[in-house]
Structure 1
Amino acid sequence: MIKKLTEADHQAVIQYLSKDSEMNLFIISDLESFGYHSDFQDIWADLDEDRKIRSVLLRYYHTYIPYARGDFDVTPYVEIIMKDDRFELLQGKADVTEKFEVIPSVRHAQKRTAYYAKLSALTKADAHSGALSQVKRATLDDVDRIFELRSQIATFIPSKSSRHSLWKSMEKGVSRTFYIEDEKGQMISAASTAAENSMSAMIVGVCTLPEHRRKGLASLCMTVLCQELVNEKRTPCLFYDNPSAGKIYKRLGFHDFGLWNMYRVM
């Protein structure tokens, strides 16, 4: 049975999601931040005969994230998504999202598969304690500087709403950035979080200007950021599909624990 969840279901759904909290980072963060009464967000669950949750589907604007720990019936979720004529993105655990390839727009979408990694303890050998004083915490006044840095990175593709989204996330306390600047005050390296929740946080926006690479600057930013999250008992998580980046993250103490698919409907 498919049920659209409400505030009365919060404890049950969080209990279900928390058994795989890092994989459900986005869903937990969105529920904690926006609840069950926003016009841009809904969450549905498939309940068994004992009314226990077997799977869930979150809608955030026109992005959908499904999750299930075992086998589940994809049909009612497919019907929900196909009614959204502005459907843009499906993302989630690889073996779960692949069941949605029965939807033509998903089957023919631009698909990206990334490694999903998490950090339990920061590797002490990479702490670089003497150099950590270079790392500063960004404020809302630094949002434009963050985007100036990112705009010089070839792999960063900002959307029209990216700046506003970062500003709102920082204001709400679900995103933070640590950075390093040069002697002229230009931001040259940074690492950020997104979708922070009470249990975990997604690391994003790890970047360094090309002329300042291979100096360990991004690792310094990551070290300060991750140590703060670990101290707060939040698990740092990240996606990567670049083996070179993966080696850097693993030196810091990250380890792979799954694959994540993103289907962007063109």
Structure 2
Amino acid sequence: MRFFIELSYNGKNFHGWQVQKKVNTIEGQLEYCFSKLLKTPINIIGASRTDTGVHAKQMFAHFDYENQIHDNFLYKLNIFLPHSIKVNSIFPVKNYAHARFNATSRTYKYFLTCEKNPFYRDICWYYFYSLDIKKMNQAAKILMDYKDFSSFCKKNSSSNNNICHIYQSYWSFKKNIFCFTIEANRFLRSMVRSIIGTILDVGRKKIDIDEFNEIIKLKKKYHYSSSIVPACGLFLTNIIYPEDIFYEKKFEK
């Protein structure tokens, strides 16, 4: 049987999602805890490969297991997992369902503040320049006119496909917090943080809208590489799937 996992995590102390040798990762912790509790090797496949320090309010992953998952398993699992990871639900899905390839959209939010606050330092970036949110929203809207985001792709990325369909992209401001929201069918490695950094240069009038357009059109990897922002303010917040991959029953806590 195939099962989906819905989880959330604080990524501060993790080297990203994907399993790597000799470093602590979200996927590695999940595989270890699931394998120990279910007494068989479990391979976890995530919906997205978040970078080092990036958080998730909603992440999905899948795994295969021959037996039923009992209702009290989730309770035991969350006791066993590190405090910074919480599995919110586990539920069976159709056998063809894939956490990564069946996702139709992913939404990220990035939080930053121009007011120093020590209690925000792990979840919000302190950015001390004044910003023009009107110009930032002009730049954010322009993103939806393009499909090729090679300019915001990491130089050593192995991806041969830099085409992404952006469904929404905008900035909001509330209680001294700037929030950037972006939704797309897929994202390239560090693409969101590179886009944000470049839009912030528009917001502080370091570059203008025409220059922002030109950066995208050039399609050069990390053409404006100095603008990538820290991971601490970035959250994966929502992933959408087609309804036909799900059954009704869930195991939640």
- Calculate the TM-score normalised by the size of structure 2: 0.29
More helix, by proportion: 1
